[in-house]
Amino acid sequence: MPITLDGSNLTIVAVIAAIAAIAVAMSLVFRGEVLKAAEGTANMQRIALAVQEGAAAFLGRQFRTLGVFAVVAFVLLFLLPVHGEANELLLKVARSLAFLVGAGFSALIGYMGMWLAVRANVRVAAAARDAGREPAMRIALRTGASVGMATVGLGLFGAAVVVLLFRGDAPTVLEGFGFGAAMLAMFMRVGGGIFTKAADVGADLVGKVEQGIPEDDPRNAATIADNVGDNVGDCAGMAADLFESYAVMLVASLILGRAAFGEAGLVFPLIVPAIGVVTALIGVYLTRPRAGENGLRTINRSFYLSGIISAVLCAVAAYAYLPGDAAALGTSAEFNGLVDDPRLLAIGSVVIGIVLAMVILSLTGYYTGTEDRPVRDVGRTSLTGAATVILAGISLGLESAVYTALVIAAAVLGAFALGGGGVVGLFAIALAGCGLLTTVGVIVAMDTFGPVSDNAQGIAEMSGDVDGEAAQILTELDAVGNTTKAITKGIAIATAVLAATALFGSFTDAIATELGDGYSRFVEASVVYAPTTLVGIVIGAAVVFLFSGLAINAVGRAAGAVVYEVRRQFREIPGIMEGTGKPEYGKVVDIVTRDSLRELATPGLLAIFAPVAVGFGLGAPALAGYLAGAIACGTLMAVFLANSGGAWDNAKKLVEDGNHGGKGSLAHEATVIGDTVGDPFKDTAGPAINPLIKVMNLVAVLIAPAVVGLSTLGSDSPLRFVIAGIATAIVVVAVVVSSRRGSTMEDGAPGPGPTTGNVSDPAETEPVRER
Amino acid sequence: MPITLDGSNLTIVAVIAAIAAIAVAMSLVFRGEVLKAAEGTANMQRIALAVQEGAAAFLGRQFRTLGVFAVVAFVLLFLLPVHGEANELLLKVARSLAFLVGAGFSALIGYMGMWLAVRANVRVAAAARDAGREPAMRIALRTGASVGMATVGLGLFGAAVVVLLFRGDAPTVLEGFGFGAAMLAMFMRVGGGIFTKAADVGADLVGKVEQGIPEDDPRNAATIADNVGDNVGDCAGMAADLFESYAVMLVASLILGRAAFGEAGLVFPLIVPAIGVVTALIGVYLTRPRAGENGLRTINRSFYLSGIISAVLCAVAAYAYLPGDAAALGTSAEFNGLVDDPRLLAIGSVVIGIVLAMVILSLTGYYTGTEDRPVRDVGRTSLTGAATVILAGISLGLESAVYTALVIAAAVLGAFALGGGGVVGLFAIALAGCGLLTTVGVIVAMDTFGPVSDNAQGIAEMSGDVDGEAAQILTELDAVGNTTKAITKGIAIATAVLAATALFGSFTDAIATELGDGYSRFVEASVVYAPTTLVGIVIGAAVVFLFSGLAINAVGRAAGAVVYEVRRQFREIPGIMEGTGKPEYGKVVDIVTRDSLRELATPGLLAIFAPVAVGFGLGAPALAGYLAGAIACGTLMAVFLANSGGAWDNAKKLVEDGNHGGKGSLAHEATVIGDTVGDPFKDTAGPAINPLIKVMNLVAVLIAPAVVGLSTLGSDSPLRFVIAGIATAIVVVAVVVSSRRGSTMEDGAPGPGPTTGNVSDPAETEPVRER
């Protein structure tokens, strides 16, 4: 039998590409280059081991905590109605199981990212010490590549297998898969984000600010926790987040694809990421550090290269697989946009997504890089003190958020214009998202580079075994890592927005299916100027504010606990400052672990139950407004937080590089304050908004049939209000419990408070400074 | 002829109430109690004179600058199509003239507020010195009352006269009136806001932070500018803002009232504020400071009292004037909400507005007052440094914004539920706004109290002629003023949101009138999930971010110029620090005046031309989305900025009152940084968002016929894109020009820069601090 380019065969190709990606990730090629490398001195290995143990312990405890949430979500999911071609019970079971698989994959990819990063860090440090710059950089790059390939592999594998098994019902089952992936990623982002920044801020406050000892100084009891945080937050969190974007984007594309392109719409969205796997592989292989070349340039080259290759291959695939005539698709979808050839539509949309990734890369680079005007301006304000640094960073963040949001909006509008109104336009938006996602492999690789090189420097510094040129190399890699982390944040946000917009389309598609002829009433009630919808928009935007506020506050509180513990150790363990006493690193790791897991519940519950409360309480149009408000405000807030934070971080670097007085000057102190404020902005609240908006959209998609069933715009069932009441109560209780904990460091501070302490409380023991 | 309760007579009653309010404002009762009071020592009078001159000079120059804008707006307004019963040309002329009158009234009320405040301040100081607490407080209260009465009087007068003259066409003409008032108020808010905070931040940075001299120290060249700023920003700006809210709310109510209630709908919205005039008068007379009573309590009592009286009188008016049966109104509007009796609807809506004002009063008080947990928590974080103070304040602001937004949303939903879908529900929302506005007299009085008592303390401090108990009294009044300022901000935001929501209703009403049978196409295109609408929401929210960022950045830049000038004076004028040399105060006033007027253009142009660009470029549905996004995000951002700023201000006060180490401790320094960051938040960007969202909604209402005429959802005229292109170009050029000025203090610094300076540059001359 000759092999033809039909749907099943291509889906199998996608599965194969996925498995290949995973195999590559696991293969000796990559792991060999990472794990076989030398591990450095005994000192370095001891430190690395402590970081490994701390990270594994945190993730382990986090998964146990999340297990409870997963079980509850599993049950609730089972209760929600489902419609499809197959048996309803079967679909429910399949959707709930897919939820578990999605959550499991998300956890797995996060764990793997962490596992590899905590092993690569010491090897990078050792390579820098013993073998030089290129080998060190190669290990960091290969580690990133391995996590990146695994991310795309698992995402594609899950989606493609579901399509193979369920065909027309695949979208329904994939809703469960996406929800599991998104929910777990959100929790990992929030928990890991709080962990990493509580440890970082706490370590800095006592170490740099109070005691005047450098970063990663072994005398600081919080240093191990700080390094653990890099891995569980930046690394595990980001990997899970991007995996989830990948999965959710595919879910939305397949739901809309089926409606717009029929059978072909269930296959083409799988081909695009399969191509992404191939190009990521090429990109990664081509990423060889050249002697004397800036590390960032190496990474950027691989990014641009794989983007261009992806675009070309997608064009080839569209011409090979899609018909040139919309009528041949066999759907009733109308092609009333700029193009009516499905192939051109597909190519145009994918290219829009790829171009979007490139534009955001340079936009974010401009606003957070040390070479360009914005960060230099922020750096200059350090001459007039911390307040002006903060103000300059905030206004930079606010403004840059606008440009990024406009670029994303332009991409959405562009794709929509290609496809025209209705489901074809929405599918075009989803395909643009898929185009953006062809870069995920490289993005994850770039991002993982960050914590690995950051940790490598930390281990080198703590061990005291690395100096001279090797230390220089590690500092340079660390700086490159900072910029790649900022850039990947920009792209992760764009991915999230496109995924959420496409999911939003799926939501209204679900409502339309449910309402049938009654849909026109929903349309009339959902106009943006209807007060109920407008209130929905306000509430959706408000949830983004609340979520950000809660996350920032949580970091403040947990960091306070770290401060008290480190102060206590300085006070009670003799000889720490002289280097004769050894701090209890594990204690700090335990405290941060406990606190960040405790803080994780409120934002998580908010994300899941706020849309439930709005949907059942105020109805489907208000829920639509809610999603719109959350997407709009979430986009802006996420970029604002990420770019302000990134700019402060690099403004500090500028000063440390000798500008405006250099290290130790008042200007430096001002930028350290800016950087500390930016920490929870850029690494806790900001990135957690990505999964937030996707989780909320997925919840809306999942509850859409129930919302419509109970409140078909008029015939209100009392059950509707019972559900809304319970959801509201959960949100209110969670928020109240969280806010009763008080702001920064009142409870949860195990050591004696500042007023009873006998050492090192600045307000009491330092003399009032004279000017 | 017996006098009946018909529309004309009642409108005349409203005119009479308005004139009475103005007369009372001007009357000897108030001005007598203010201007007849003693003016204190020669020293105090000299300082007061300098403040008076500076404030008058700034406002004079500002009005000249704004004259250009007014002429341009006048012409553009004339070009926009208009529809009505009367002759089109006549209506156009009337609308354009009304624009000028509205702008003139707005300027007048701002000028008057400033004029009175700069004369009251020295008298309050003198009274505290020579006559004691009660007389001092009475002068401050009476000054506020006078401005408050003038505000409501002028607003009501303008609206009522237009209704008398134009009857059915009144709404059209009032659009011009409202736009004039709003545009001028926005510019005064932005210009005054930049002035006041540039002077304040600049004075603090050099004075408190660098030189370690106290606030209002006469050795600081920026102190006069700082005191001028209180008057032109807090006082003139707030009075114009609330006047404009008043005018715009009436505009929206009358537009919607005519559609919902017919003739009666053109009258009842005038009766409610007329009642507000009466109750404000009663409230003000009852506000007599009792011996030993906290000043805030005195003011709150008058607020609650006038709210309750208003509610009762409105109920009486509704029963006396409105019919009990909707059919008797003679309109086709459907009453399908909770009540179908127009009287109950009117009473219910007004009460919702009044209750909203009270809830916001206590909510804002809770989040920004020193008595309650939130500010105490922020104060406590000062023990771990400036970074935690900033983080705690930001998360407090983000969270409190959510609660305020939800309360406002609940009021909107409540009023809408009373009235049901369609225009009746929208009119109910507008009436709730009118209810809220019955408190404006008292609100303006409370707000004016702030800068007057702030200035009184400043003058006392600078003159050196007030000490002991008198100084204590002034400090207490200043603290009360801080809280009243924060509370009035909350209410001003609520007013703005309700006014904007009602205007949003007027906008869609205008579109409906214009499209006739084609309206259903607009409805279909305006669903919140249509990508174009969603993009509109994103852009609307983005403009709020951009506007805030620009305003904050402008303050930073202008403050930088102040810092350089004050440093220069310390350096070049011998003997300033010893008190033998006299700083050139006028120079700093000139610099701040020049810079704040230069900075004012960009945010102003953005507010006016961004909706034009969206409306003509993307069409009416996107413009509707734009307005929704701006309202939702604007509400949250305005409250966030106001409450964060207020909390930091009071956290500093807490520390200064002896907590956490008191004045001069590191904790104090941390809260000073927080307060400085909060300055442009709470007094520049935050309050300017109120007029922003109203201006944008008014622009939308005004351009609605043209937008629909040129782009009736399909038949696109090329002119449409020409207009959109020009508007976009204006916005882009304005933003680029502004951002090319660079961040804080690069250009515009007339003195030698920090690297060439030879004294007092902290980064160069202060030793690196040892810990």
**Minimal Cβ distance to A390: which of B385, B390, B429:** B390
Which residue shows structure tokens 């979208």? A171
- State the DSSP H helix or E strand holding residue B462, giving kind and residue range, or none if neither: helix B440-463
CB-CB under 8 Å, B754 with A409: no
DSSP conformation letters of A35-63 = HTS----HHHHHHHHHHHHHHHHHHHHHH
Nearest Cα neighbor of A302 from A291, A287, A321, A281 is A287
pLDDT attached to residue A411? 95
**Shortest distance, CA B705 to any CA of chain A (angstroms):** 17
User: In this structure, what token pair is assigned to residue A94?
Assistant: 């399949």
Max mean pLDDT range (A362-366, A597-601, B618-622, B637-641): B637-641
Give the up-direction half-sphere exposure of residue B2: CA atoms within 13 A in the CB hemisphere: 2
**Shortest distance, CA A500 to any CA of chain B (angstroms):** 11
Helix, strand, coil % over all residues of chain A, rounded to 5: 85, 0, 15
Instruction: Provide the b/e sequence for B190-217 (b: ≥16 CB within 10 Å).
Output: bbbbbbbbbbbbbbbbbbbbbbebebbb
CB-CB under 8 Å, B766 with A535: no
pLDDT attached to residue A332? 77
In order of A476, A671, B601, the CA distances from A663 in angstroms are: 17, 10, 39
CB-CB under 8 Å, B402 with A542: yes
Q: What is the mean pLDDT of residues B563-578?
A: 85
Residue A527, helix vs strand vs coil: strand
| Chain A: residue whose CA lies nearest to B676 | A387
**Residue B370 domain-assigned (yes or no):** yes
Cα separation, A205 vs A211, whole angstroms: 9
pLDDT attached to residue A758? 30
Q: Are A660 and A383 in contact (CB under 8 A)?
A: yes
Given its phi and psi angles, is residue A455 left (phi above 0), alpha (psi -120 to 50 degrees) or beta? alpha
Supply the mean pLDDT for chain B: 84
Q: Are A388 and B210 in contact (CB under 8 A)?
A: no
DSSP conformation letters of A442-498 = HHHHHHHHHHHHHHHHHHHHHHT---THHHHHHHHHHHHHHHHHHHHHHHHHHHHHH
**Of A761-770, B133-142, B383-392, B538-547, which gets the smallest average pLDDT?**
A761-770
pLDDT attached to residue B362? 86
Nearest Cα neighbor of B491 from B596, B643, B628, B717 is B643
Cite the DSSP H helix spans in A292-385. Answer: 295-321, 342-368, 373-381
Confidence band, pLDDT 50/70/90 cuts, at residue B292: low
**Of A98-107, A137-146, B7-16, B485-494, which gets the smallest average pLDDT?**
B7-16
| Chain A: residue whose CA lies nearest to B406 | A539
**Residue B752 domain-assigned (yes or no):** no
Helix, strand, coil % over all residues of chain B, rounded to 5: 85, 0, 15
Cα separation, A159 vs A238, whole angstroms: 20
Residue A216, helix vs strand vs coil: coil
**Residue A126 domain-assigned (yes or no):** yes
In order of A379, A644, B546, B605, B739, the CA distances from A400 in angstroms are: 17, 9, 8, 19, 11
pLDDT greater at residue B234 or residue A566: A566
Question: Cα-flanking dihedrals φ and ψ of residue A717, to 5°?
Answer: -85, 140
User: Residue B55 belongs to what domain range?
Assistant: 19-741
Q: What is the DSSP letter of B723?
A: H
- The predicted complex's ipTM stands at 0.90
**Shortest distance, CA A41 to any CA of chain B (angstroms):** 33
Cα separation, A623 vs A475, whole angstroms: 48
| B701-704 long-range contacts, CB within 8 A, separation 24+ | B701/B175, B701/B255, B701/B503, B701/B506, B701/B507, B701/B510, B702/B77, B702/B80, B702/B175, B702/B179, B703/B80, B703/B611, B703/B612, B703/B615, B703/B616, B704/B507, B704/B510, B704/B511, B704/B514, B704/B615, B704/B620
pLDDT attached to residue A764? 33
Residue A744, helix vs strand vs coil: coil
Q: Are B540 and B633 in contact (CB under 8 A)?
A: yes
**Residue A771 domain-assigned (yes or no):** no
**Residue A670 domain-assigned (yes or no):** yes
Interface test with A, best of B363, B377, B384, B532 (most A CBs within 10 A): B384
Q: What is the separation of C-alpha B492 from the centre of its chain, rounded to a whole number of angstroms?
A: 6
**Minimal Cβ distance to A508: which of B383, B529, B746:** B529
Residue B571, helix vs strand vs coil: helix
Cβ-Cβ contacts under 8 Å for B16 (sequence gap 6 or more) = none
DSSP conformation letters of B75-139 = HHHHHS----SS-HHHHHHHHHHHHHHHHHHHHHHHHHHHHHHHHHHHHHHHHHHHT-HHHHHHH
| Chain A: residue whose CA lies nearest to B554 | A395
CB-CB under 8 Å, A665 with B631: no
Cα separation, B241 vs A323, whole angstroms: 60
DSSP conformation letters of A539-573 = HHHHHHHHHHHHHHHHHHHHHHHHHHHHHHHHHHS
Q: What is the mean pLDDT of residues B286-312?
A: 78
**High-pLDDT (> 90) share of chain B, %:** 23
pLDDT attached to residue A261? 87
What's the whole-model pTM score? 0.91
CB-CB under 8 Å, B405 with A550: no
Cα separation, A393 vs B524, whole angstroms: 41
**Shortest distance, CA B212 to any CA of chain A (angstroms):** 6
CB-CB under 8 Å, A507 with B396: no
Q: Residue B392: list chain A partners with CB under 8 A.
A: 553, 556, 743-744
Instruction: Provide the b/e sequence for A679-700 (b: ≥16 CB within 10 Å).
Output: bbbbbbbbbbbbbbbbbbbbbb
pLDDT attached to residue A637? 96
**Minimal Cβ distance to B673: which of A387, A742, A770:** A387
**Residue B337 domain-assigned (yes or no):** yes
pLDDT attached to residue B3? 43
Q: Residue A535: list chain B partners with CB under 8 A.
A: 409, 412-413
**Residues A259-304 pLDDT 10s:** 888 888 888 988 998 898 888 888 777 767 666 666 677 777 778 8
Nearest Cα neighbor of B431 from B303, B315, B510 is B315
Cβ-Cβ contacts under 8 Å for B463 (sequence gap 6 or more) = B40, B41, B43, B44, B47, B125
User: In this structure, what token pair is assigned to residue A433?
Assistant: 């998202």
Question: Cα-flanking dihedrals φ and ψ of residue A172, to 5°?
Answer: -60, -50
- pLDDT over threshold 80, residue B227: yes
Interaxial angle between packed helices B620-656 and B373-381, expressed in degrees from 0 to 180 and rounded to the nearest 10: 70
Cα separation, B466 vs B469, whole angstroms: 9
Q: Residue A501: list chain B partners with CB under 8 A.
A: 531, 534
**Minimal Cβ distance to A676: which of B201, B387, B618:** B387
**Minimal Cβ distance to A661: which of B381, B408, B764:** B764
**Residue B1 domain-assigned (yes or no):** no
Nearest Cα neighbor of B333 from B271, B256, B270 is B256
Cα separation, B63 vs B58, whole angstroms: 9
**Minimal Cβ distance to A632: which of B373, B537, B553:** B537
pLDDT attached to residue B627? 95
DSSP conformation letters of A61-86 = HHHHHHHHHHHHHHHHHHHS----SS
Q: Are A362 and A303 in contact (CB under 8 A)?
A: no
| Chain B: residue whose CA lies nearest to A419 | B531
Question: Cα-flanking dihedrals φ and ψ of residue B420, to 5°?
Answer: 80, 180
Residue A711, helix vs strand vs coil: strand
Cα separation, B272 vs B375, whole angstroms: 37
Regions of chain A with pLDDT less than 70: 1-7, 28-32, 287, 289-295, 712-716, 742-771
CB-CB under 8 Å, A201 with B632: no
Q: Residue B676: list chain A partners with CB under 8 A.
A: 385, 387-388
**Of A254-263, A739-748, B251-260, B608-617, which gets the smallest average pLDDT?**
A739-748
CB-CB under 8 Å, A763 with B549: no
Amino acid (1-letter code) at residue B212? G
Q: Are B271 and B407 in contact (CB under 8 A)?
A: no
pLDDT attached to residue B6? 62
Which residue shows structure tokens 């005119």? B15
**Shortest distance, CA B55 to any CA of chain A (angstroms):** 26
- pLDDT over threshold 60, residue B769: no
Interface test with B, best of A208, A375, A376, A395 (most B CBs within 10 A): A395
Number of Cβ within 10 Å of residue A736's Cβ equals 11
Cα separation, A505 vs A254, whole angstroms: 12
Cα separation, B415 vs A532, whole angstroms: 11
Cα separation, A688 vs A691, whole angstroms: 6
Max mean pLDDT range (B180-194, B249-263, B706-720): B180-194
How many domains is chain A built from? Answer: 1
In order of A561, B99, B507, B555, B700, the CA distances from B78 in angstroms are: 64, 10, 19, 34, 15
Q: Residue A627: list chain B partners with CB under 8 A.
A: 529
Supply the mean pLDDT for chain A: 84
**Residue A768 domain-assigned (yes or no):** no
**Residues B349-359 pLDDT 10s:** 999 999 999 99
Nearest Cα neighbor of B196 from B483, B450, B572, B440 is B450
Interface test with A, best of B378, B743, B769 (most A CBs within 10 A): B743
- State the DSSP H helix or E strand holding residue B656, giving kind and residue range, or none if neither: helix B620-656
User: In this structure, what token pair is assigned to residue B159?
Assistant: 């609206």
